[in-house]
Structure 1
Amino acid sequence: MEVLDILNLGEIAHYFSKMAMFPVFDLAYYIVSILYLKYEPGSVEVSRKSPVASWLCAMLYCFGSYILADIMLGHSPIDYFHNNSHILLASAVWYLIFFCPFNLFYKCIAFLPIKLVLVAMKEVVRTRKIVAGVHHAHHAYHHGWFIMVITGYVKGSGVALMSNFEQLLRGLWRPETNEILSMSFPTKASLYGAILFTLQEAHWLPVSKSTLICVFTLFMATSKVIMTARHSHGSPFALIESWLCHLLFGSPLGGEEAHDHHHAAPAATAAPASPAKTKEELSEGTRKRKTKKAE
């Protein structure tokens, strides 16, 4: 305890939990979100053929979680768009990523060391969004714990949950990429984080909110930075989830990985786009191909 008192970890966590997100962290969030949009197949072509559709997709990537949460809580889905400064900032980022001469802005932010910093900053914003969603639902439905979890979950991963609708704006329909059917790491982490913050909000978790925010943010940022640096689509939860699914639902251990491996050979002949590569992170080879196409 004396060491904790000397380090003032409680004060550091409190300061961190109160730190403003706009404009620096929000800017990083918009940059990474729209960068992932540019990685999506056909997004560059859409930006040339229909800039309006491309801009709408970018706004969904940046504000989809707010739109979906507002719909769930009975508010106007365009309510968040009254924040002119956020809309203008995200629009400026969209323009620079897609239309900057010689792709200079894209090349700068796609440079791995810079990208890793931006990815870590994005996870700071994601955690705050989960906390805000749980807190908002707590005020509207004081004892609605499931509503608090769902709202926090949507606030943290609403962009992924709306991915099929965003694909329609780009003229695609890929129901097999439904995020509920195949959750990515950020979606799973948002769900687990929403559960933790709901327990804390209900005073069932003996830890302060500022400390939980600090610890969860550190976990998310570290995990995403490592996964991005390694170009990995795996999940730190995979082993635990495998054992739990085997224990609770009778699923075979490593069932998802075995299933993917079993179907890998037949899929290679047709060479379709893998659902994992249509999510947030793409492999190095895909990124290089998209960069060459953009140039």
Structure 2
Amino acid sequence: MGVDPTMSSQQILKQLSNHILFRSMHYAFIALQLRDELAKSSAGERSCLEMRPFVLWLTHILVSYSGDILVNLLLGTLPLEPLSNYHDVMLSTFAWYIIFYSPFDVAHSVARTTPFRCLATPVAALSQVLHIERGVHLASKVYGKNSLVPVIIIGTVIGSGAEFLKPVAALLINRCQMKPAAYIKLSTNSKLAIAISWLYLLQLNGSQLLFGLSRCQLQLYALLALMCFKFLALFYRLDHLIWLLENRLCYALFGGLYADLTKFFKRQPIPKCGSFTKFD
């Protein structure tokens, strides 16, 4: 089927994100991440897969629709409305099943290869950019363009909803993970969501910092930058360098350096040679 030349790039990206192949790869990648995390956290992965399939399916559905659920909750609409799309839920369920329970783990082995991850990386980047854009503009309509904090929070939540629902997901698979408690960790994905939300907020208010970029242009540039970052993180561990930089900044600005300097100046002086102590 041909593409209408009068369509904007934004409409083309939205149609692409709703394509069945795009959605299938997106849900398969989420299922792969869930299984890899389960394998790292649980000693008995196979027993967990065999004994608790419904819990794992529920966790997968929760993580797949986490951004939409949280944003609807924050905007005062029905939080489970995204689950009313029966065909999309069935597609997500099918992707989960072939990753977790395909014969001889063929689908899981293929999904862990580098070619599949290279295909899934731009899919994840496009999905994140479109979700953040939708969240920022919905929040600006409800709270107003000048409400900086609500807009940034909603853009961040919809861009990294799975991170904020991890405590609930961990409670669902607590027996599998053998963990006593769940926690929220602001991952690199969440930090990227915060940065992209700020860019959309600046564009929404017509800031000159973006040099007059339109909404469509900003979407394309953000998508390109996010894809480049994800590929660099996949092959060169760029996210580890960002973590090191953040660690150094936290050490310099949030008390680590001050604590070390305090210990240095309060330490006991070393006695000089030839001097007498009270033990002599």
TM-score (norm 1): 0.73
Quick check: 1:25–1:124 contact (8 Å CA) kept in 2? no
Question: Could you tell me how far 1:106 is from its partner in structure 2?
Answer: 1.1
Matched residue type, 2:65: F
Query: Once the 2 structures are TM-superposed, how far is the Cα of residue 245 of structure 1 from its aligned partner?
Result: 4.6
What does residue 201 of structure 1 align with?
A: 204
1:85 is displaced (CA, Å) by: 2.1
The equivalent of 1:35 in structure 2 is: 32
Q: Offset of 1:86 from its aligned partner?
A: 1.6
What residue number does 1:170 align with? 173
Residue in 2 that maps onto 1:213: 219
| Structure 1 counterpart of 2:51, one-letter code | K
Find out whether 1:98 has 2:100 as its counterpart.
yes
1:129–1:156 Cα contact (<8 Å) kept: yes
Report the counterpart of residue 71 of structure 2 in structure 1: 69
Q: Which amino acid aligns with 1:31?
A: A
Q: Decide which of 163, 171, 192 is 1:160's aligned counterpart.
A: 163
Shift of 1:128: 0.5
- Indicate how the Cα distance of structure 1 residues 235 and 87 shifts in structure 2: closer, same or farther if over 3 A, else same: farther
Contact 2:229–2:238 (Cα < 8 Å) also in 1: no
Alignment of 1:272-291 (within 5 A): none
Residues 184-203 of structure 1, C-alpha deviation per residue, up to 9 Å, x if partnerless? 21110001111111111122
Write out aligned runs for 1:212-291 (5 A). Answer: 212-230=218-236, 233-236=239-242, 239=245, 241=246, 245=250, 249=254, 252=257
Unaligned stretches of 5+ in structure 1?
Answer: 1-10, 256-295
How many Å separate the matches in 1 of 2:240 and 2:222?
19
State the SS of the aligned residue for 2:17.
Answer: coil
Deviation for aligned residue 1:177: 4.6
The DSSP-based 3-state class of the residue aligned with 1:207 is coil
Larger radius of gyration: 2
1:45 Cα deviation (Å)? 3.5
Task: Tell me the secondary structure at the aligned position of residue 213 of structure 2.
Answer: coil
Give the corresponding residue for 2:149.
Answer: 146
Contact 2:152 / 2:201 at 8 angstroms: preserved in 1? Answer: yes
Determine which structure has greater relative contact order: mean sequence separation of CA pairs < 8 Å that are 6+ residues apart, divided by chain length.
1
Aligned equivalent of 1:120? 122
1:25, distance to aligned residue in structure 2 (A): 2.6
Pair 1:21–1:164, CA change in 2 (3 A): same
The answer to whether the Cα contact below 8 Å between 1:112 and 1:229 also exists between their aligned partners in 2 is no
Question: In the TM superposition, what is the alpha-carbon distance from 1:92 to its structure 2 partner?
Answer: 0.3
Distance 1:188 1:66 in 2: 18
Q: Is 2:27 the counterpart of 1:25? A: no
Q: Which runs of 5+ in 2 are unaligned?
A: 1-6, 261-280
1:55-111 CA-to-partner distances (Å, cap 9, x unmatched) read 011112211111111111122221110112221111000000011101111111211
| Cα gap change, 1:117 to 1:244, in 2 (>3 Å) | same
CA distance in 2, matches of 1:18, 1:93: 21
Q: In structure 2, what is the equivalent of residue 277 of structure 1?
A: none
Distance 2:249 2:200 in 1: 22
2:132 to 130, 133, 139: 130
C-alpha RMSD of matched pairs (Å) = 2.7
Residue identity matched to 2:33? Y
- 2:114 and 2:122 mapped to 1: Cα distance? 12
Partner Cα separation in structure 2 for residue 247 and residue 16 of structure 1: 45
Asked if the contact 1:17–1:214 (Cα under 8 Å) also holds between the matched residues in 2, the reply is no
Residue 224 of structure 1 and its aligned partner are, at CA, apart by: 1.3
8 Å contact from structure 1 (residues 65, 157) kept in 2: yes
**C-alpha displacement of 1:175:** 4.9
In structure 1, how many angstroms separate the alpha carbons of the residues matched to 2:220 and 2:252?
32
Summarize the Cα distance change of 1:231–1:102 in structure 2 as closer, same or farther, 3 Å threshold. farther
TM-score under structure 2 length normalisation: 0.76
Report the AA paired with residue 230 of structure 2.
K
How many residues are matched? Answer: 240
Instruction: Tell me the distance in 1 between the aligned counterparts of 2:58 and 2:30.
Output: 13
Query: 1:161 is aligned with what amino acid?
Result: F
Give the 3-state SS of the residue equivalent to 1:124 in structure 2. helix
* 1:118-165 deviations in Å (ceiling 9; x for gaps): 122111111110001001111111232221111111011010111121
